Amino acid sequence: MTAHIVSDTAARPSAARDSTHPDFTARFWGVRGSIASPGPDTLRYGGNTPCIEVRCGGALLILDAGTGIRPLGEVLVRQGATDIDLLLTHSHLDHICGLPFFAPAFHAGSKLRISAGHLEPGRTIRSVLQCMMASPLFPVPVEIFRADCSFHDFVAGDTLHPKPGVAVRTGRLNHPDGATGYRVEFAGRSLCYVTDTEHPAEGRDAAVVELARGADLLIYDSTYTDAEYPAHAGWGHSTWQEALRVADAAGVGRAVIFHHDPKRTDDELDVIAAAAEAARPGTLVAREGMVLSP
Ligand SMILES: [Zn+2]
Ligand SMILES: [Zn+2]
């Protein structure tokens, strides 16, 4: 139940790989919520919006297509990766705006399956992406992709089986326009990705606790602090303190604070990291370049 830090390249470039669970890793390419926030105050934790590369043996899953997916795509093209499952939590811009700049999508011979489970009946993820990639918002349509691209709509609550031995449980989150939480299970271990979501006024969100139950790693929407939250009630986001409460309620191994507010500076995140470590030892604040093994 203990998640292992494989490496944290932003802080410790030469960190040794943990050989305990080498086949199941999560690499953070974008950890920021709402809008990309480059600048001197976000250099250490990073300013890209959500994107996480998950490796399950030979299977490659990508969680969300925020701006972090652009540099990931450059690496994948160099590696010659051809078979990709992109799982979208939802279609707010911070989670999809990197897709038109994702190099493997333009690579003939690549396979790209894009899945989403948050849309109302009658809407499809393909049609939503077609809206984003349409003049005059964007000059070229989705059909410009040269990869073998497919689009899959599911209902939050379904279990997906992207590859043999990899199960992805899903659950509905509490967010304007809907969102889906994912739980990736591989080799007897589990990683739970819960962003963007707002906690209930009283108690924990039972669906989130159930999805995260016993997970080795819980990556959780921590846009606000508990003190900031009341001014943002109804905006669809949660707090880092709630991340810890959910982790405790669900018996999670390690909680990861994620979807940082765009205004949050590196120094402020350092303060949160220290407070979270004191409150629940092992808790981490997500930063670009960090690699974790569930
Ligand atoms: Zn978001
Ligand atoms: Zn959102």
Where does the pLDDT of residue 82 fall: very low under 50, low under 70, confident under 90, or very high at 90 and above?
A: confident
Q: Kindly give the distance from the C-alpha atom of residue 176 to the centroid of ligand 2, in angstroms, as a whole number.
A: 7
Mean pLDDT within 118-140: 97
Count of alpha carbons within 13 angstroms of residue 101, beta-carbon side: 14
Q: Kindly give the distance from the C-alpha atom of residue 16 to the centroid of ligand 1, in angstroms, as a whole number.
A: 32
Ligand nearest to the CA of 92: 2
Give the chain's mean pLDDT.
94
What is the pTM for the complete model shown? 0.94
Residue ranges and CATH numbers for the domains of the chain are 4-293 (3.60.15.10)
Check if the beta carbon of residue 216 is closer than 8 Å to that of residue 191. Answer: yes
How are beta strands 159-163 and 148-153 bridged, if at all?
Answer: unpaired
Per-residue pLDDT at 22: 78
Where does the pLDDT of residue 3 fall: very low under 50, low under 70, confident under 90, or very high at 90 and above?
A: low
Q: Kindly give the distance from the C-alpha atom of residue 139 to the centroid of ligand 1, in angstroms, as a whole number.
A: 24
Q: Kindly give the distance from the C-alpha atom of residue 40 to the centroid of ligand 2, in angstroms, as a whole number.
A: 25
Whether the predicted pLDDT of 11 surpasses 70: no
Mean pLDDT within 259-286: 98
Where does the pLDDT of residue 17 fall: very low under 50, low under 70, confident under 90, or very high at 90 and above?
A: very low
Whether the predicted pLDDT of 267 surpasses 60: yes
Q: Please list all protein residues whose beta carbon sits less than 5 angstroms from ligand 2, which is an ion.
A: 92, 196
Condensed to tens digits (0 to 9), the pLDDT of residues 186-226 reads 999 999 999 999 999 999 999 999 999 999 999 999 999 99
Per-residue pLDDT at 80: 87
Per-residue pLDDT at 213: 98
Mean pLDDT within 98-112: 96
Check if the beta carbon of residue 185 is closer than 8 Å to that of residue 201. Answer: no
Mean pLDDT within 75-85: 92
Q: Kindly give the distance from the C-alpha atom of residue 219 to the centroid of ligand 1, in angstroms, as a whole number.
A: 13
Whether the predicted pLDDT of 2 surpasses 80: no
Size (the chain), residues: 294
Mean pLDDT within 34-49: 98
Where does the pLDDT of residue 1 fall: very low under 50, low under 70, confident under 90, or very high at 90 and above?
A: very low
Q: Kindly give the distance from the C-alpha atom of residue 153 to the centroid of ligand 2, in angstroms, as a whole number.
A: 18
How are beta strands 148-153 and 189-194 bridged, if at all?
Answer: unpaired
Whether the predicted pLDDT of 20 surpasses 70: no
Whether the predicted pLDDT of 239 surpasses 70: yes
Q: Is the dihedral of CA 208, 211, 212, 213 positive or negative?
A: positive
Mean pLDDT within 36-48: 98
Gyration radius of the chain's alpha carbons:
18
Per-residue pLDDT at 255: 98
Per-residue pLDDT at 18: 40
Where does the pLDDT of residue 12 fall: very low under 50, low under 70, confident under 90, or very high at 90 and above?
A: very low
CA distance 68 to 123: 26
CA distance 60 to 26: 10
